Amino acid sequence: MSTKPGDSGSTETPMNVLLLAPSVGGHEEEVCQELLHGPGEREHALLVTCMESPADRLSAWTDHDHEHGRPENATIIDVEAAARSTAATAAGTDGAPNAVVESVGEETDLVGLGDVIDRHLTALASEGEPSVCVHSVSDLLQRAEENAVFKFLEVLTSTVERAGAVAHYHMNPDVHDAETVRTFEVLFDSVVDLRTAHVADE
Amino acid sequence: MNQDERTDVDAPDTKRTDREGLPPQVVLVADRDPTVTDELAEVLREAFIVRSAYDSADALASLDSEVSVALLDPTIPGLSARRVVERVRTDGADCQVAALTDGPLDVEATAFDDYLVKPVAHDSLTETVERLGRRAAYRTTLEAYYLVAHERATADGAERERLDRRLAELDDRLDDVFGSLEGSEAYDAALRELDADS
């Protein structure tokens, strides 16, 4: 499968990857896992989730155990906890003793979310090279204006680069017009488009 | 006081792009006490282009798109933070605003970006203005970056290539400024909406 950025011939691992995953098909979870674990077998994961529960994001990650081994720890930042039942949130921690879930309040804006991400990213970076999954750009665009989400992601990609982390950002191209997707493309080192499994390095 | 060439606020706009990502730092100072205004302005002239204002009409008239940092005394009649922000956050111009106060201020509850308690120590004055200047540069450059990315999304051919080059320039400039900002400060500088009621 030629969906890993490393397959494009570039020797340098892209630090920030936009993962364009359509609503149906495209092996989104498999590619997510490969990007998270990366060639360096990164052991610290920072998962940012909006609409999906922390349990779902975590299982997507740990389902891959047999092939990649378990990460030492995972930190999950739960952006839309208030939109789901608290039972679902609690379940996220039950089966995963080495997972930390931080729920971000409903009233938290992108500045506040950035602060929380920055705090965890800095902490994880002090222990190793973290791997970040943002799920998703599409959900963030439900929360805030395009202009604000764009700026938020520019800051986030810069902090990821500075922390020596790698990150990928899910975006569903089916729910945005092509112009929005092309506007956001410029923020990333690489774009993995699962509609075509085509890899384009910026 | 030395009125060096940097006090020439009518310099052409091209200076903005010739300073490797650092726009000319034009600072506006307005305290209710003209002596304080003059003293702060004198200190700041060592490093910045400075405009002084002695009442709200002066201050508001001086707040054009050249000003990247404003130090304002909110007790000057007619000079509420809201009026200032309405003035500085229009037509793409951006300016970071610090309050000159007599005591601590809960910045989060106001439209101000920061505050300085009088009497202001000269080193903290300069440090604060430099920091606010970096925030202003980051915010302004980021807005330009978004607008060019948005324009590029529907461009093709030579126009797209031109916009790609422009994006690369802006990206370099953002990287430069980002290097001097803490992560949480970068989010705040990039995104803070100054729409508080005070």
A147-151, B49-53, B66-70: the lowest-pLDDT one: B66-70
Predicted local confidence at residue B40, as pLDDT: 97
B115, β-bridge pairs: B99
Query: For the residues B182-196, what does the mean pLDDT come to?
Result: 81
The 3-state DSSP class for residue A199 equals strand
pLDDT over 50 at A133, yes or no = yes
With respect to residue A95, please indicate whether it lies within any of the assigned structural domains: yes
Structural domain for A148, as ranges: 14-201
Predicted local confidence at residue A84, as pLDDT: 64
With respect to residue A23, please indicate whether it lies within any of the assigned structural domains: yes
Max mean pLDDT among A48-52, A141-145, A181-185, B91-95 falls in A181-185
Whole-number average pLDDT of chain B: 83
Amino acid in the structure at residue A146:
E
Interface test with chain B among A108, A181, A183, A202, by most B beta carbons within 10 Å: A183
Verify whether the Cβ–Cβ distance A111 to B192 is below 8 Å: yes
pLDDT over 90 at A67, yes or no = no
d(CA A19, CA A168): 6
Query: If pLDDT is split at 50, 70 and 90, which confidence band does B85 have?
Result: confident
Interface test with chain A among B140, B150, B163, by most A beta carbons within 10 Å: B150
d(CA A193, CA A20): 5
With respect to residue A3, please indicate whether it lies within any of the assigned structural domains: no
The answer to whether A145 faces chain B, any CB pair under 8 Å, is no
User: Which residue from B172, B169, B190 is spatially nearest to A154, judged by alpha carbons?
Assistant: B190
Verify whether the Cβ–Cβ distance B187 to A115 is below 8 Å: yes
Verify whether the Cβ–Cβ distance A155 to B183 is below 8 Å: yes
Measured between beta carbons, the chain B residues lying within 8 angstroms of A122 are 183
With respect to residue A6, please indicate whether it lies within any of the assigned structural domains: no
Query: If pLDDT is split at 50, 70 and 90, which confidence band does A6 have?
Result: very low
Q: Give the list of residues 6+ apart from residue A81 with CB closer than 8 angstroms, or none.
A: A89, A103, A104
Measured between beta carbons, the chain A residues lying within 8 angstroms of B145 are 154
The answer to whether A177 faces chain B, any CB pair under 8 Å, is no
Measured between beta carbons, the chain A residues lying within 8 angstroms of B142 are 151, 154
Task: Output b/e per residue, B150-184; b: 16+ Cβ within 10 A.
Answer: bebbeeeeeeeeebeebbeebbebbebbbeebebb
Verify whether the Cβ–Cβ distance B191 to A151 is below 8 Å: yes
Query: For the residues A95-105, what does the mean pLDDT come to?
Result: 75
Looking at domain B5-135, its CATH superfamily turns out to be Response regulator (3.40.50.2300)
Pairing of strands B26-30, A73-78: unpaired
A102, β-bridge pairs: A77
Measured between beta carbons, the chain B residues lying within 8 angstroms of A154 are 142, 145, 174, 190
Measured between beta carbons, the chain A residues lying within 8 angstroms of B146 are 147, 150-151, 183
Verify whether the Cβ–Cβ distance A114 to B178 is below 8 Å: no
A22-31, A138-147, A173-182: the lowest-pLDDT one: A22-31
Q: Report cis status (omega within 30 of 0) of the bond before A71.
A: no
Verify whether the Cβ–Cβ distance B190 to A182 is below 8 Å: no
Domain ranges in chain B are 5-135, 136-191
Interface test with chain B among A151, A157, A177, A191, by most B beta carbons within 10 Å: A151
Domain holding A71: CATH number?
Answer: 3.40.50.300
The two structure tokens encoding residue A179: 């112009």
Q: Give the list of residues 6+ apart from residue A10 with CB closer than 8 angstroms, or none.
A: A190, A201
Pairing of strands B96-101, B114-117: parallel
Number of separate domains in chain A: 1
Top pLDDT among A88 and B28 is at B28
Verify whether the Cβ–Cβ distance A114 to B183 is below 8 Å: yes
Task: Output b/e per residue, B21-54; b: 16+ Cβ within 10 A.
Answer: bbbbbbbbbbbbeeebbebbbebbbeebbbbbbb
pLDDT over 60 at A41, yes or no = yes
The dihedral of CA A158, A159, A163, A166: what is its sign? Answer: negative
Q: Give the list of residues 6+ apart from residue A118 with CB closer than 8 angstroms, or none.
A: A159, B183, B184, B187
The side-by-side arrangement of strands in the sheet containing A73-78 is A99-103, A73-78, A44-49, A131-135, A166-171, A16-20, A190-193, A198-201
Predicted local confidence at residue A172, as pLDDT: 96
The structure's pTM equals 0.83
SS3 content of chain A, % helix, strand, coil (to 5): 45, 20, 35
